[in-house]
Structures are given as structure tokens and as C-alpha cells.
Amino acid sequence: MVKINDRYEFPLQLDLDREDGKYLSPDADRSIRNLYTLHGVLVHSGGVHGGHYYAYIRPTLSDQWFKFDDERVTKEDVKRALEEQYGGEEELPQANPGFNNAPFKFTKYSNAYMLVYIRESDKEKIICNVDEKDIAEHLRIRLKKEQEEKELKRKEKAEAHLYTIIKVARNEDLLEQIGKDIYFDLVDHDKVRSFRIQKQMPFNLFKEEVAKEFGVPVQFQRYWLWAKRQNHTYRPNRPLTHMEEAQSVGQLREVSNKANNAELKLFLEVEVGLDQRPVAPPEKTKEEILIFFKLYDPLKEEMRYLGRLFVKASGKPAEILTKLNEMAGFGADEEIELFEEIKFEPNVMCEHIDKKATFRASQLEDGDIICFQKAAPVSEQCRYPDVPSFLEYVRNRQVVRFRSLEKPKEDEFCLELSKLYTYDDVVEKVAHHLGLNDPSKIRLTSHNCYSQQPKPQPIKYRGVDHLSDMLLHYNQTSDILYYEILDIPLPELQGLKTLKVAFHHSTKDEVVIHTVRLPKQSTVGDVINDLKTKVELSHPAAEIRLLEVFYHKIYKIFPLNEKIENINDQYWTLRAEEIPEEEKNFGPHDRIIHVYHFMKDTAQNQQVQNFGEPFFLVIREDETLAEVKVRIQKKLQVPDEEFAKWKFAFLSLGRPEYLQDSDVVASRFQRRDVYGAWEQYLGLEHTDTAPKRSYNANQNRHAYEKPVKIYN
């Protein structure tokens, strides 16, 4: 898949009769004049992996072209539609004219990819007016429906200033929502009945609409305005006055709304008599205050809305305890505790109410909320024995989905935790769920909300204060954590560096992956000493070296004194191997060169692709390719038949120069002006016949061609 951006011109008129019609198919009608006129140019902007499509069209073949780019249609001139779509290169205007600086050219990535021509003789037939009957019926229906919807929206938008939305919350809404959808405040206004009312409608007429909707006669309706308090809570604030009710809906909205919102929020108070029928609301004086009540049950961990009462500001809660017990279904003498729900942002504030102090002294006013519960000492198994602790729990509870780091796509289990839990609380809960005695062996990793994958670095031991910090990714909060079970406690592990090292046996055709875990201050020499105790050497005095191999090239031989703390093996595995005897005793004119396997990728423009295991080779000053080949074949144990097909090339900066058997290999490796040793290498070109194996030693794993064993 390649996109060619070369220049390609096309004419406004295309004559296919020219040169005796050699461009026409044999069965074309030669009696017709085959002269075509350009009608449309379809353009692709971008590369092979993505881009954008748009078109230049002249619908009636007039001189006026139009550009159709998604929903934007603009007039364009013929130059834009033709010449600018030819592709090729474009010259940037010179930055400093007169300074003789060469013009800068760049490839144009927007160009024509399809042309539409219309035969002149068929022009009248094709470019004709489209009648409604020419459009398929299903499209006519769809277009009509879209048009109607568009018209309705336009009308609504145009008339929006003539209407007000009135949201009416009732006792029934509080009963339905508190303890299920919401715990704080009284109601979610988005879930209550809303009315779209013309602003000039008198409010008293609106009351009649409500009477029809809810079956509450007008004379029994009393409306309260909601107020947003300074602490960001919403409470019914005061009833509407008779004068306000005599106004229009629009005037009333302006009274209630400082924020210039298009909505009017009201609470409908309906008093019911003993027969459960509406009765006229009681007289409301300054002395009377309207209080809402919620009941909390610590055993069931449930909170529900109980109702509302008018109380005297100079009265005391002690005077209404019997009434509250009756509302809750408790015995008349049940001792209860009262709390005021004050706010929940940014944190919960819920305070004990003194039953002997007056409501006024406790600063209770219209619309306030009292939560109460039985005062009897609750049993041990209550997680949240009182209203404040329960509200604190509700405010901070969080269900977290846990996934094993080895299977990062699957939820394994969920735990309900609190955002306020400390690091220790969280790992303790996870360990308990997994039946693990030592929580310090749990290591957690946060979730990246953008890539939907674990973050590359795990959470350090006690590295965050609370669960809320673990779930945070920039400004987003996730509900996913990854866990792994370590074989040693995390604090101990953090003092160690873990490296994955692939040991390549000098004679056996196998790779063994070892996990080396040493204190961070250790050196590469310590890693090698540790490996010597784990691997099988060809002879006791054999020496080992550590290499950084990435994408089938050798990038580095690690010096023995290098600290392991900074070695990054997160995305690739380090390679350990015995140092061959030939490298230990080579002469003053010998060279060590890199030898890599490669092939040319037919799909990728013959680009060189490396594969397999790279290695070092000692070459002598006068050694020919024929001599070097003998040693390579022996080293790699390639059968003659297979080896005969191999080609050998000197590669510098990715370009191969093929070598003859008589070429002296060392003569090619004289230059020093290259970026690094790996940029010059001897390439072995052949097909990659080894079976592909992916192994789980690390992320972003590269296939190893030799058999792999993993020892952890």
C-alpha cells in the first residue's frame, strides 16, 4: 500500500477520438463524438494510513466550481479545482528574496485520485433538473423527516426566548430518590417533571396545568422557590407570595433567578388530611419553619426520606420527638439522636443537634434537613454506627475493578472501598480477598485512562496516600487497578533491581531466560557473577559478557563497573553470552565486526529488515569473504544446501553493498565517520526460516528464534 504523490495532469476536455480512438475499447460506439468534459475532481489529502476526502464539482458544467468538504460548500476557481490537484512538488515562497537562497520544495499530499468526465453528447440527459420522483421513496421519507425535525428545532430555538422551563419537585420525588439515586440534599432536579410554559402565561394559569397533571386542585397547591446556598447545597427557601403568583411565568423566573438560567425550579407543597386527600396549606408565619426529615438505619445501612414538618423557630426538637417516632414507626418513647445535614462538598459536614436548644439557637431555617436514628447503642457489626459516618462512607465509596497485571484486559474481581483508604488499607483488602497472609507482597499498578492500559511504572510501597490518588490519571479518575503477587515483600523488592537476562549457550541451540535480582547499587560484574551460578558454561574458566540487543542489533556491551540501577530492560531483554576464545587473543590488525541477518521487505520498498540473532566476529586483516564464510557456516551450523543461497553484503546506514568471495572483508570496515559501530555491519541475506516464538519475559517482546526456556 503506497500513495503516489507524483505530478499527474488532467485536462478540462478529454478527446478520446484522437489518434484514431486508440484509447477506446473495441466495442465502443464510433458513430458518437467521444468528447468528454470534466465534471468532478475527487481529492484525497494525507498519506496511505489516513487522511481526508473532499471534492470539486461543477453541478451544471458552468464555469463556477464548488468545493464540497463535509458540511462546508464553498465557491472555488478553476485553478484550485485543476492545477492545484495535479500533485507533485510545491515551492515555498522564498523567505529572504534577493539573498540567493534556493527555493524550498515539498511534496503536495493533497491531490486528485478520481475524475468524473461527462460525454458532451449526453450532457443534456445527465445534467438535467432532478425531479422529486427521481429520488427513491425511502430517501424522500428520510429527507422529509430530517427537514421536519430541523424545522422543529429551528422553531424551538427561535421561540426559546418566549418560553421558560419549570421544574416541579414534589414529596413523591423525594421519597423516590433519597436513599436510592441520591443521599445528599433533597432532589435531583433533572429527574423531576418539567413543563415548557410560555413566559407571558399568568402563573395562576400554570397552576391549572399542574392540577391536571398531578390531580391536586389549584387551591391546595403552595409553591416554594429553591435557593442555592453559599455552601453549594439546594434547599426550598420561601413560599411564593400572592403578588408573585399574580405575575406572569416570565416575571417570576426573573425574581427567582439571579443566574439568568432559562429554568424555574419550584417545590410543590401539598398537605394531606386524614383521608389522604389534599387540604389547604397551613398559614406560614415568620415563626414557622419548614424542616425535612431523613431516617437512618445503621443495621441495614439504609437512609430514606420520612417527610416534612412545620416547627416553631422558638420551639425545641425535644417537643417533636414523639411525632418523629410516630413518622418512623418507632415506639412513642424511643430515644433518638438528631443530626443536621449541612453540606457534602468538598467534604461532608453533618453535626449533632442539641434536643434541648431551640431550632433558632441551632441555626435551623426553612428547607433545612434533619437526619435521625435510634440512640440505643448499636451492635459491634455496624460499620457505620451513626449518620455522619454513613454519609462520609457514601460520599467516598468507590467500587474498584481489579485486574491481574498478567491479564490486563479482564476484570477479575470488584471491591467496594473508600477513596479515603490509605495505601495499607487498600493492599490489605486485596490480600484478604486473595487469601494472602502478607499484604506487603501485593504490588499495585494504576490505569492509564487514555491508552486503556496499565501505567508502565507500578505504585511504590506507600508511594501514595489514598485510594483516590491511585485512581487518578491527570485530570481523570478511573475505577481500575492492576495487581500482582510478589515472591518477596515490596519494600524489600524496591531496594533491588530485577533484570531479565537471556543466556545464549555457546554450543547448545537454546536460550534460557533468567531473572536476576540484586541490590540497586550492584554492577554488571555482580550480574555476571550471579549468572555464573545459574547457567551451564562450556568450561569452568569461561567468561561472560552482557549485551543490549534491540530489534536484532547489538547496541552496547555493558562495562563490568556499570551500575545496574539505570539499565532499562523494560522493553527488551538483555543478552548474556560467553566471550568466544577467538576474541580474547586477536592480533593487532584484527577487527571485531557486527554480523546481522537481514532480508529485503518487498512490501516496504525493498527496505532492509533485520531478524534473528546478531553476533560479533573477529576478522583478520587479509581475510577474504570466502574464508569468513567458512567460519560463519561453522559457527551457525547451517547445512550446505541452505548456506549456498545466502548472500553477503557490507551495510552502512542501511544500504547493502554485495560482496564477492574474493573481496577482503576488513578493507570495508576502515571508515570511522559513522554514527556507531552498529551502523556498519556484515549482513547475511537469507529468508527467515526459523519458527516465530513469542515469549513472556517482557512487554513489547521480540521473537527469539532459538528454543526458549524461562526460569524465574
pLDDT at 704 > cutoff 50 = no
Phi, psi of 193 (to 5 degrees): -65, 130
pLDDT at 260 > cutoff 60 = no
Q: Which residue did the predictor score with more confidence, 469 or 90?
A: 469
Q: Confidence band (pLDDT; 50, 70, 90) for 29?
A: confident
Q: Confidence band (pLDDT; 50, 70, 90) for 405?
A: very high
50: left (phi over 0), alpha (psi -120 to 50) or beta: left
- Predicted pLDDT at 254: 73
Q: Which residue did the predictor score with more confidence, 712 or 255?
A: 255
- The domains found in the chain, sorted by start residue, are 13-130 (no CATH), 161-279 (3.10.20.90), 288-385 (3.10.20.90), 395-481 (3.10.20.90), 493-579 (3.10.20.90), 591-685 (3.10.20.90)
pTM (2 decimals)? 0.55
- Predicted pLDDT at 698: 39
Q: Confidence band (pLDDT; 50, 70, 90) for 229?
A: confident
- Predicted pLDDT at 166: 92
Average pLDDT over residues 349-359: 93
Mean pLDDT lowest among 21-30, 96-105, 115-124, 440-449: 96-105
pLDDT at 526 > cutoff 70 = yes
pLDDT digits (tens, 9 = 90+) for 533-545: 888 888 888 888 9
Q: Which residue did the predictor score with more confidence, 155 or 170?
A: 170
Measure CA 645 to chain center: 49
**Under a CB-based contact definition with an 8 Å cutoff, are residues 278 and 217 in contact?**
yes
- Predicted pLDDT at 212: 94
Cross-strand pairs, 476? 473
Q: Confidence band (pLDDT; 50, 70, 90) for 320?
A: very high
pLDDT at 66 > cutoff 90 = yes
Pairing of strands 442-445, 480-485: antiparallel
pLDDT digits (tens, 9 = 90+) for 265-304: 999 999 988 888 888 888 888 899 999 999 999 989 999 9
ω into residue 93 within 30 of 0, thus cis? no
Orientation of helix 249-256 relative to helix 203-214, angle to 10°: 90
| CA 664 to each of CA 194, 360, 491, 572, 617: distance values in angstroms, whole numbers, following the listed order | 90, 104, 57, 35, 15
- Predicted pLDDT at 691: 58
pLDDT digits (tens, 9 = 90+) for 172-181: 999 999 999 8
pLDDT at 520 > cutoff 80 = yes
Q: Confidence band (pLDDT; 50, 70, 90) for 37?
A: very high
- Please choose, from the candidates 166, 163, 190, the residue with its C-alpha nearest in 3D space to the C-alpha of residue 264: 166
- Predicted pLDDT at 694: 44
Please state, rounded to an integer, the average pLDDT across all residues of the chain.
Answer: 87
Q: Which residue did the predictor score with more confidence, 677 or 496?
A: 496
**Under a CB-based contact definition with an 8 Å cutoff, are residues 206 and 214 in contact?**
no
pLDDT at 258 > cutoff 80 = no
pLDDT digits (tens, 9 = 90+) for 192-220: 999 999 889 999 999 999 999 999 999 99
Average pLDDT over residues 71-86: 91
Q: Confidence band (pLDDT; 50, 70, 90) for 97?
A: low
Average pLDDT over residues 476-499: 90
pLDDT digits (tens, 9 = 90+) for 561-614: 888 887 877 667 788 998 888 887 777 778 888 999 999 877 667 788 888 889
- Predicted pLDDT at 700: 36
Q: Confidence band (pLDDT; 50, 70, 90) for 701?
A: very low
For residue 163 the three cell numbers come to 418560553
Q: How far apart are CA 369 and CA 294, in angstroms?
A: 7
- Predicted pLDDT at 187: 93
Q: Under DSSP, is residue 60 helix (H, G, I), strand (E, B) or coil?
A: coil
Q: How far apart are CA 677 and CA 679, in angstroms?
A: 5
State which amino acid sits at residue 696. Answer: N
**Under a CB-based contact definition with an 8 Å cutoff, are residues 113 and 43 in contact?**
yes
pLDDT digits (tens, 9 = 90+) for 650-690: 998 778 899 999 998 888 887 655 455 457 899 999 988 76
Cross-strand pairs, 652? 655, 680
- Predicted pLDDT at 378: 63
Average pLDDT over residues 328-348: 90
pLDDT digits (tens, 9 = 90+) for 615-655: 989 888 888 999 999 999 988 888 999 999 999 999 987 78
Q: Confidence band (pLDDT; 50, 70, 90) for 261?
A: low
pLDDT at 95 > cutoff 70 = no
Pairing of strands 413-418, 110-119: unpaired
